[in-house]
Structure 1
Amino acid sequence: MKKIGVLVSGRGSNLQAIIDAIKRGYIKDAEIAIVVSDVKDAYALTRAREARIKAVHVDPGSYRTKDSYEEEILRLLQKEGVDLVLLAGYMRIVGKRLLDAYHNKILNIHPALLPSFPGLHAQEQAFNYGVKVTGCTVHFVDEGIDTGPIILQRSVPVLEDDTPETLADRILKEEHKIYPEAVKLFIEDRLTIDGRRVRIR
């Protein structure tokens, strides 16, 4: 049984997608051991508690440095025996302390087809640029911003009557499909990183 830790900052809809995928048996031999948020009132913590998952708020403002803040997160993850870390709307750049401890064991979901439109407000970036197709990406996390090796992508057309909000809603629906799929592949040891490429067995 592999244990998953999830880092969150917001409403946690992707967290819910993972919870549901485990509950219905799509993701087997895995459980979410802990959910950690840097935001005290993040709704993701409520989702975790409702699913009887340990939910913890770690206030970055209580720590003098980023390293000491991440040291506490690492302590919590390791205490629960976490094998895989998921970022689900976590609005902080993961630092060296966590990256070293969980090398190639941290996944993120991004609402654009990377390497296009990295960083914040990716849906709005894509909309304003005028692309005809955008989407979402699950990738391994490295020291850059949305630069790690790509695991899965799903395309979403930009419709003529779209707004940034309607586009974001349609992208989110695809996120809820491919994030559980990527987690399933990781749990089943079907992912191999070969340079920039992630090979799926």
Structure 2
Amino acid sequence: MIEKEWQKNMFQGINRGIFGIPATKKSEIERLVKQIESLNPTPCPTLELEKVAGCWRLVYSTISILGSKRTKLGLRDFISLDDFFQTIDISKSKAVNVIKFSAMGLSLLSGQLNIEASFRIASSTRVDINFENSTITPDRLMNVFRKNYDLLLGIFNPEGWLEITYVDDTLRIGRDDKSNIFVLERFDDSNNT
């Protein structure tokens, strides 16, 4: 099990990398991720899916929303991104990604984007992922994103494959077919509503 101290220090103040980070910080994180992946205690994670099941919170991703994408989505001044969660139900071969949003000063527009996907084991480390559906709640928030909903889904759509490169009781790292890295920590979902 990797100590959580590295997470607190490494990811502090970067907002999960979503809005970009300096190249030196990105290189430092990616170097550390490679070191952690080399210590993977679960070399065949799809053969031990119970270690992957449950709720996870995203702490870092190389997916970024920059420039015109950020402006088109209204994220510059109006909407901020809050927590990102992923719940994996291995009995149904389903994953639900929940991206929480809030509108500054307008709690009526706080809500979330839910993206549901199914997965199929492709190898001892890889799953193929198929997008199933998505929703934004409440409807008022959907109205904010309706014009650029395809752009929003294009950024967060999980379709493709995911290589699980590290998993223990508290940490999971994956890499997808779009060359993105995802670092997630296990989360007690009893409070995640």
Q: Please give the range of the TM-score, normalised by the shorter of the 2 chains.
A: under 0.3
Structure with greater proportional strand content? 2
Structure with greater proportional helix content? 1
**TM-score calculated relative to the size of structure 2:** 0.25
**TM-score calculated relative to the size of structure 1:** 0.24
